[in-house]
């Protein structure tokens, strides 16, 4: 049986893209093993098909160096037909081992790593990641990324064609959402705004909390964890709206459907802090489509491409309290437009499913792996 190892330093249980990719690979008859790291915040556990590396360092350059060294020796001693490097922070160790073993490498870039907002103001760190990218991206056998804008950047810089596989949901997830909407979606409740994702800077969470001061009939649900969680909790308390803001913490993707079914409006905002934010196409956008959940998004290229193509929400030019408050009020009162968005989401959810999106990659894999 063809063996594939999927390498990532993220939590496999909450990374929906890794789950979908591995499910597709297994459906093709491949033997798939996860290779990650042990971390006290991760839900994933050691199993027959999941191997977690013990790490001495948990952060900084020493963590990435140690992690890639451990990846290198694992891939060197545990032979596989292909290794999947999830993001740039696994690619060096995987690529070096593959050069010695002859293993094929699939590089799946979930973002444009050197432009991560976390390192936006760290020029030396950005330079290091750019060097790693320049050295190892061209060595991969298959290149995949999440949106056309990032694929275009890679093409310009390294002359490599990246296959775009967007983070659209599985058909079964859309079906589950439809069932839940038919029941929980009818429950009487305050107008509920939903944010799901990382609670980090530049996501508009603070602005929505500020908007609640005027939007007294609204409730805001935040599903996720991150660097500014304590800060936004304190903000809600200081503004006197904490009774209408619910912080649910980080949830596995299997539990997110219930939150979407109970929401009236989804939000997907980013400040232009980096190219990653500007060209983002996050999972929750497609989850909202599957849930037929009207949405407000920031007017960035990839978000606009989807929202305007299917006419399923509103693109906002900025993230000021005034702009967001007005847009939320329109979503609450303009029933005709919102009904149109929901109807259009039915068609969009039929087209934007993982089973259709992954087909070009599965055909490519068959050729590379000769199966």
| pLDDT given at position 362 | 92
8 Å CB contact between 78 and 5: yes
**Residue 284 and residue 175 in one domain:** yes
Note the pLDDT of residue 41. 66
Residues 127 and 256 in one domain: no
**Token digits of residue 142:** 């298959």
The pLDDT assigned to 162 comes to: 97
Say what the pLDDT of residue 273 is. Answer: 83
Is residue 130 domain-shared with residue 175, that is, in the same domain?
no
Kindly state the tokens that stand for 346.
């039915």
Structural domain for 181, as ranges: 171-351
Q: Is 216 exposed, middle or buried (0-12, 13-18, 19+ CB in 10 A)?
A: exposed
* Alpha-helical regions (H) of the chain: 16-27, 60-77, 88-101, 123-136, 148-158, 171-183, 205-211, 229-238, 253-261, 275-278, 283-290, 301-310, 321-333, 335-351, 354-357, 359-369
**Do the beta carbons of residue 149 and residue 279 sit within 8 Å?**
yes
Same domain, 27 and 83: yes
pLDDT for 185 equals 56
DSSP 172: H
Question: Are 134 and 41 in a shared domain?
Answer: yes
Mean pLDDT per block of 10 residues along the chain (371 residues) reads 90 82 91 82 70 76 89 91 94 95 94 82 89 95 95 94 93 81 70 94 94 96 94 97 95 82 93 88 89 94 95 96 97 95 93 94 88 56
Q: Rounded distance, CA 24 to CA 32, Å?
A: 10
Cα separation values, 317 from 258, 289, 309, 314, Å: 30, 21, 17, 10
Domain count, the chain: 2
Three-state DSSP at 125 gives: helix
The reply to whether 250 and 188 lie within a common domain is yes
> Does residue 180 share a domain with residue 82?
no
CB distance 268 to 303 below 8 Å: yes
Note whether 289 and 155 are same-domain residues.
Answer: no
Residues 338 and 219 in one domain: yes
Do 21 and 117 lie in one domain? The reply is: yes
Determine whether 367 is exposed, middle or buried from the number of CB atoms within 10 Å of its CB (0-12, 13-18, 19+): exposed
pLDDT of residue 244: 97
Same domain, 149 and 272: no
CATH label of the domain that carries residue 16: 3.40.50.2000
3-state percent helix, strand, coil for the chain, nearest multiple of 5: 50, 15, 30
Choose among 367, 257, 304: nearest CA to 147: 304
What pLDDT does 114 receive?
87
Where residue 102 falls (left for φ over 0; alpha for ψ -120 to 50; beta otherwise) is left
Task: Specify whether 40 is located in the same domain as 100.
Answer: yes
């Amino acid at each position: 049986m063809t063996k594939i190892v999927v390498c990532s330093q993220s939590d496999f249980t909450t990374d929906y893209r890794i789950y979908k990719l591995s499910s597709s690979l297994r459906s093709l008859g491949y033997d798939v093993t996860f290779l990650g790291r042990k971390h006290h915040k991760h839900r994933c556990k050691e199993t027959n098909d999941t191997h977690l590396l013990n790490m001495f360092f948990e952060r900084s350059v020493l963590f990435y160096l140690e992690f890639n060294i451990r990846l290198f020796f694992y891939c060197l001693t545990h032979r596989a037909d292909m290794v999947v490097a999830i993001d740039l922070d696994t690619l060096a160790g995987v690529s070096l081992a593959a050069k010695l073993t002859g293993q094929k490498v699939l590089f799946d870039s979930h973002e444009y790593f050197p432009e991560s907002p976390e390192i936006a103001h760290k020029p030396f760190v950005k330079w290091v990641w750019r060097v790693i990218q320049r050295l190892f991206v061209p060595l991969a056998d298959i290149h995949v990324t999440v949106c056309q804008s990032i694929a275009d950047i890679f093409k310009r810089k390294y002359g490599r064609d990246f296959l775009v596989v967007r983070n659209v949901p599985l058909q079964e997830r859309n079906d589950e959402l439809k069932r839940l909407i038919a029941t929980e979606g009818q429950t009487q409740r305050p107008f509920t705004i939903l944010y799901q994702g990382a609670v980090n800077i530049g996501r508009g969470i603070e602005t929505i909390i500020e908007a609640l001061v005027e939007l007294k009939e609204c409730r805001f649900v935040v599903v996720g964890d991150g660097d500014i969680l304590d800060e936004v909790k304190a903000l809600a308390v200081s503004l006197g709206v904490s009774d209408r803001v619910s912080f649910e913490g980080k949830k596995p993707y299997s539990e997110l459907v219930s939150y979407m079914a109970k929401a009236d409006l989804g939000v997907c905002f980013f400040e232009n802090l980096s190219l990653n934010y500007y060209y983002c196409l996050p999972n929750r956008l497609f989850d909202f489509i599957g849930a037929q959940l009207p949405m407000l998004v920031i007017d960035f290229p990839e978000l606009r491409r989807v929202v305007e193509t299917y006419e399923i929400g509103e693109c906002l030019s900025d993230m000021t309290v005034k702009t967001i408050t007005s847009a939320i009020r329109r979503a609450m009162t303009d029933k005709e437009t919102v009904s149109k968005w929901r109807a259009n989401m039915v068609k969009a959810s039929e087209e934007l499913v993982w089973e259709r999106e992954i087909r070009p990659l599965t055909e490519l894999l068959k050729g590379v792996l000769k199966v």
